[in-house]
Structure 1
Amino acid sequence: MIYAFLNQKGGVGKTTLSVHTAAELTRLGRRVLLIDADPQGSALAWANCRENPAFTVVGMPKATIHKQIPLLAGDYDDIVIDGPPRIAELARSILLASDLVVVPLQPSPLDIWAAAETVDLVREAQVYEPDLKCCLAINRRIVKTAIGRDVRDALKELDVLVLEHDISQRVAFAETLANGSTVGRDDDRKGAKEIERFVEELRRMT
């Protein structure tokens, strides 16, 4: 299964969700490859801080990624792609390679507009890849506020599935990117549970 995390806007949490999705799939016994397709290289930087690598991370910010992934896919059960912002040619190549596109967004108007642009790219790709699936993921939701509910209402006009399980804004998620780790049960049990439910929901879509 090839999961791609894409949004035309930066700073929505693509890398955080990519890394944690790869880690959770690995915990479930899957052989996972994480591809950093963002020229900024955030996932690679995270990987360089790891002490005990549990899965492989490679950089591939190339517009030919859809041609190269089939050469790698046989060695892995799942591939997770951390996509770039604002590089339409590369994003289109990622879309052609993917089975499921996850569009992370924060609960803000700017993120909703950017998500709409990404959904448009997905629909273009579905002309050539009709089995390509897409969903929206609300990230960095502030706990105990009505923002999550309000953003769901606003997203209805995009006519795309919004994942039931949001990811909350937690210091632990930010800290993991700096030290090459992921949120575990010992660090933040609630955060770890959110990731478990999030990945479980993604797997149900496949």
Structure 2
Amino acid sequence: MKIYSLIHQKGGVGKSTLTFNLANNLKNYCKICILDVDYQGSLYEIRESSEIPIYHISQLEEVRNSNYDVVFIDTPPYIFEGLETICDISDHILVPMKPGPLDMLAVKKTIQFIREQNAQHKASIVFNMVKPKLNLTEQIAEVVSTYEIPTTTNSISDLVVFSKSVLTNGVEANNNAQRQLDELTKELLLK
């Protein structure tokens, strides 16, 4: 079993949507599920309409003892008591980050937490909800490159289809969105 956790102590960076889309992108290739440990439970709330099994935080041990090939864990926008365990059991930690000045500052606390767990070797930052043709992304990327956690080569654009994806069970109808997810998924699987 491979476990990918999406962690960031800042809200509004697209953790839940990215978690859903990455899991959805693999649903035809392996046995996959999502564990929603965010107490808001946004993903858990859509479990009835999802083509991917979505479990509640209370089912962590059940999921860990299951025969899923891949588990994606969606975490809350704050550091909570069980996050140390999530870092420990994760094969890879993905830190979604919007390329903005406040996000650049906020991600430092998440990176510090990951370092305190001695998990920086299995973490990466992904630029998510990237505005097209925004020079700021390059400037932010330059600053973030000095942090101790690498950024992914691939990023995810700020496309409406990503936000709608939890209602439509994916982004397959949009070639650009699907290409971005395919590239990021491949990159993660090779880590």
Aligned to 1:17: 18
* CA–CA distance in structure 2, aligned partners of residues 31 and 68 of structure 1: 15
Aligned residue for 2:81, secondary structure, equals helix
Alignment of structure 1 residues 29-178 onto 2, 5 Å:
29-50=29-50, 53=51, 55-60=52-57, 65=60, 69-72=63-66, 75-126=67-118, 133-177=122-166
Equivalent pairs, count: 190
1:194 lines up with 2:186 in the alignment: no
Measured after TM superposition, the shift of residue 70 of structure 1 is 3.3
Equivalent pair of 2:25/2:170 in contact (CA under 8 Å): no
Kindly provide the amino acid, as one letter, of the partner of residue 85 in structure 2. Answer: S
Measured after TM superposition, the shift of residue 78 of structure 1 is 0.7
Distance 1:61 1:138, change over 3 A: farther
Aligned residue for 1:38, secondary structure, equals coil
The 4+ residue runs of structure 1 with deviation greater than 3 A are 67-70
Measured after TM superposition, the shift of residue 86 of structure 1 is 1.2
* CA–CA distance in structure 1, aligned partners of residues 62 and 109 of structure 2: 26
Equivalent pair of 1:39/1:61 in contact (CA under 8 Å): no
* CA–CA distance in structure 2, aligned partners of residues 139 and 6 of structure 1: 13
Instruction: Give structure 1 stretches of 5+ with no counterpart.
Output: none
Equivalent pair of 1:38/1:61 in contact (CA under 8 Å): no
* Overall identity of the aligned pairs, in %: 26
Distance 1:70 1:48, change over 3 A: closer
1:4 lines up with 2:11 in the alignment: no
* CA–CA distance in structure 2, aligned partners of residues 168 and 70 of structure 1: 32
Kindly provide the amino acid, as one letter, of the partner of residue 60 in structure 1. Answer: I
Equivalent pair of 2:25/2:181 in contact (CA under 8 Å): yes
Structure 1 length-normalised TM: 0.85
* CA–CA distance in structure 2, aligned partners of residues 108 and 204 of structure 1: 28
Task: Name the structure with the higher helix share.
Answer: 1
Distance 1:6 1:61, change over 3 A: farther
Equivalent pair of 1:32/1:79 in contact (CA under 8 Å): yes
Kindly provide the amino acid, as one letter, of the partner of residue 44 in structure 1. Answer: Y
* CA–CA distance in structure 1, aligned partners of residues 58 and 136 of structure 2: 34
